[in-house]
Amino acid sequence: DNKSDTPKFLYRQFFLTPSATFPHQHNLEGQIGIVTGSNSGLGFEASRQLLSLRISRLILAVRDLPKGEEARRKLAHAAPWAIIDVWQLDLSSYASVQAFARRCDALPKLDFAILNAGILKVEMQVNKSTGHEEVLQVNYLSTALLAIVLLPILAKSSRVSKAGKLTIVGSETAEWAKFQERTSKPILAAFNEPRSFDLQDRYYTSKLLEEFFVSSLCQTVSRYKVVVNIANPGFCYGSGLHAEVTGALGLVFGIYKRMIGRSIAIGARTLVNAAVIQGEQSHGRYLSNCAMAPFALMIEEKSKEAGGTTLWSETMAEFSFADAERIVEWMRA
């Protein structure tokens, strides 16, 4: 099934509506969860829906603390019973990711985490602290590191209840990625080549790399310790992802999103479903419209496995300072 086929994409956008989750179906009382990028857009809406399910404690992980506090006030108004924390998380910084994980480790437990934060850049920028291109850094590298360092924290909760859940927010645009860098050696450094930067394809490729990561990670991580999946919310308007696209192009794109996009309220349903409804069978799987679906064709094809293996090796080497390989190996059954 080629997800990049335009008629099929439009059919999913217009005729498939993810089901909402209601408190009488799934009550989250007593649970603690995290949503990154939760001060606006899909992250904020997913947080609102989790609170409607009576979650006891919700951590809003945000880069901008004042905006996070504003989001907390809005959410708390409708959920006075819940503890809502605002914690800083800057995915441009590995140090921030590690500091955030240390705070999480002090929690009494952690039932699930939704890794939603992501960016789209109009112009190429290189991260000063890591030396990597910024979209690659935020959407792939720091998200992958955060996922790994959260695994043992989520697994601790699995000892006393069902397996913890880790959901990464993906996108079906991964199917449209060219990923020309896959033949480069090394792969990660190839993203720093200015001539290869294209604002749309860089975003698409960052989402494809997330799929490579989940597919590779779950070959080792036991579903009985932590269930890891990736959820596609669909093409949504109101997400704020394209805030940097301004001028005439921004106007045209805004109209396009409004005509074809689904609301963030609909899109966020898929994130909530993946994190709190889906079970062990969703481990290592791609979810779209609250149902399991194939990964991007480039990942499903056996001929592309070499690129994925190289990417995994480079990613683990990048995270050697965090002892990532040991953490992943500890997550075996």
Active site residues: 203, 207
> Quick check: 276 and 53 in contact, CB under 8 A?
yes
Alpha carbons 173 and 118: distance in angstroms, whole number = 14
DSSP E strand stretches across the chain: 32-36, 57-62, 83-88, 112-115, 164-169, 226-232, 236-237, 262-263, 285-288, 291-293
Alpha carbons 191 and 133: distance in angstroms, whole number = 6
Listed residue (145, 139, 89) closest to 321, CA to CA: 145
- Using DSSP's 3-state secondary structure scheme, residue 10 falls into helix
**Which residues neighbour 200 within 8 Å (Cβ) at sequence distance 6 or greater?**
none
Alpha carbons 56 and 33: distance in angstroms, whole number = 9
| Dihedral sign from CA coordinates of 136, 137, 142, 148 | positive
**Which residues neighbour 287 within 8 Å (Cβ) at sequence distance 6 or greater?**
229, 230, 231, 232, 270, 273, 274, 278, 293
Residue type, position 31, single letter: Q
Cα three-residue angle 4-122-100, rounded to 5 degrees: 90
